[in-house]
């Protein structure tokens, strides 16, 4: 995926964490009804289990910034599976119903099936199993799919940005063949996964010619294809607005070949706008992460691989819970109180502020511009 990439200093050395709210005062007893300052409930937790990936996609982990000498986190900094389970249990007590495992590439984390088995035993405040899912680049799925299903994983999302093999090898920048990702998707089907989604990040002038071929390939397959606008996440991908192809254009291109009709969201806070084929051949989704802010319904928290909680994908600061986890004096009730106070203070709405800033800039109102210059967390660190 050709692009001008801007090498940056390790953003972790440029960003300071927000202080975890003090634990003095009354304990916050979990009720499953926790809300933030904008009345948004806590329903989704995304857990990054590794900051490493075997791909070097330009929009996420370009070689110029994530080369052979990049200082990935040492193993001692990573949360153990037991620590992840403990924190997950706390978040579930506050209302989380869905947990997504991400990375980096999560399947690079050794013995991940063991963590999935532990998380699959958790129950929501209503006594139901969690919606337990994972996002992967698909490179290891042929080997891992059956074990993931047996461990209790309920759904899978596979990242795939092109069907053309030459283009795909260039996008992942490690010469990985598209046929192996497609074989991984087939292996997931054979393993019994009833819900599989494929995410395509669309970059204008690079892979937008693959939109209709991708739609054609996954029609009638039972796989839901989702198109994601190229996002300004992190600091390393040289993002420009000119590279963004609006989701409306994606829908228009597909509908011209395979007519579509809009359908309602499946749940509150769903990021993808859903469209189905008029002829009944399935559905697609479009995630308008740049052109249409959906902060108002965002119910997601993100946990980094070293135990920092981020309240927005575009955040530049997190709350470090690892010290609390590793302090023998801090009980689960103390952890629950910390999480409650963090979420109750949440007012993040970056996409809406970015949109307002763009409008103000266009009108010449410099005083209304939103400051987006602070280093933001890299997507490879907290997952998408």
Q: What is the pLDDT of residue 234?
A: 54
Task: Give me the tens of pLDDT residue by residue for the chain, a chain 384 residues long.
Answer: 444 444 444 545 545 677 788 777 788 899 999 999 999 999 999 999 999 999 888 877 888 888 888 888 898 899 999 999 999 999 999 999 999 999 999 999 999 999 999 999 999 999 999 999 999 999 999 999 999 999 999 999 999 999 999 999 999 999 999 999 999 999 999 999 999 999 999 999 999 999 999 999 999 999 999 999 987 665 555 567 888 999 999 999 999 999 999 999 887 767 889 999 999 999 999 998 787 766 778 899 999 999 999 998 877 789 999 999 999 999 999 999 999 999 999 987 766 556 555 444 434 443 333 444 556 566 666 666
Q: What is the pLDDT of residue 16?
A: 64
Q: What is the pLDDT of residue 3?
A: 44
Q: What is the pLDDT of residue 374?
A: 57
Question: Which CATH class name applies to 11-19+40-382?
Answer: alpha beta
Q: What is the pLDDT of residue 313?
A: 80
The ranges assigned to domains in the chain are 11-19+40-382
SS3 for the chain, per residue?
CCCCCCCCCCHHHCCCCECCCCCCCCCCCCCCCCECCCCCECCEEEEECCCCCCCCCCCCCCCCCCCCCCCCCCHHHCCCHHHHHHHHHHHHHCCCCEEEEECCCHHHCCCHHHHHHHHCCCECCCCCECEEEEEECCCCHHHHHHHHHHHCCCEEEEECCCCCHHHHHHHHCCCCCHHHHHHHHHHHHHHCCCCEEEEEEEECCCCHHHHHHHHHHHCCCCCEEEEEECCCCCCCCCCCHHHECCHHHHHHHHHHHCCEEEECCCCCCCCCEEEEECCCCCEEEEECCCCCCCHHHCCEEEECCCCEEECCCCCCCCEECHHHHCCCCCCHHHHHHHHHHHHHCCCCCHHHHHHHHHHHHHHCCHHHCCCCCCCCCCHHHHCC
Q: What is the pLDDT of residue 62?
A: 83
Q: What is the pLDDT of residue 231?
A: 77
């Amino acid at each position: 995926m050709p692009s001008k990439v801007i090498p940056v200093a390790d953003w972790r050395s440029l960003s300071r964490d927000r202080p975890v709210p003090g634990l003095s005062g009354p304990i916050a007893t979990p009720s499953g009804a926790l809300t933030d300052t904008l009345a948004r409930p806590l329903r989704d937790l995304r857990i990054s289990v590794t900051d490493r990936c075997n791909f070097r996609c330009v929009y996420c982990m370009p070689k110029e910034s994530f080369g052979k000498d990049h200082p990935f986190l040492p193993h001692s900094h990573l949360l153990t599976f037991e620590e992840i389970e403990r924190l997950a249990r706390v978040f579930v007590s506050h209302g989380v119903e869905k947990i997504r495992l991400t990375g980096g590439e999560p399947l690079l984390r050794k013995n991940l099936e063991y963590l999935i088995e532990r998380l699959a035993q958790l129950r929501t405040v209503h006594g139901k199993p969690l919606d337990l899912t994972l996002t992967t680049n698909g490179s290891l799925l042929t080997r891992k799919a059956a074990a993931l299903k047996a461990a209790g994983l309920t759904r899978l999302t596979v990242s795939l940005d092109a069907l053309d093999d030459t283009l795909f090898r260039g996008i992942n920048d490690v010469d990985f063949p598209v046929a192996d990702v497609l074989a991984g998707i087939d292996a997931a089907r054979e393993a019994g996964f009833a819900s599989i989604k494929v995410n395509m990040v669309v970059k204008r002038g690079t892979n937008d010619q693959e939109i209709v071929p991708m739609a054609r390939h996954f029609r009638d397959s039972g796989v839901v294809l989702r198109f994601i606008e190229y996002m300004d996440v992190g600091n390393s991908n040289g993002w420009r607005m000119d590279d963004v192809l609006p989701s409306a254009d994606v829908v228009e291109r597909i509908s011209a070949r395979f007519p579509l009709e809009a359908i309602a969201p499946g749940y509150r806070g769903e990021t993808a706008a859903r469209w189905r084929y008029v002829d009944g051949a399935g559905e697609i989704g479009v995630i308008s992460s740049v052109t249409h802010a959906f902060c108002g319904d965002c119910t997601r928290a993100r946990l980094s691989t070293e135990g920092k909680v981020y309240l927005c994908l575009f955040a530049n600061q997190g709350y470090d819970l690892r010290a609390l986890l590793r302090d023998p004096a801090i009980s689960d009730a103390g952890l629950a109180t910390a999480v409650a106070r963090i979420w109750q203070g949440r007012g993040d709405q970056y996409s809406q502020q970015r949109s307002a800033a763009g409008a103000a800039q266009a009108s010449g109102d410099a005083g209304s511009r939103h400051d987006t210059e602070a280093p933001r967390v890299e997507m490879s660190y907290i997952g998408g």
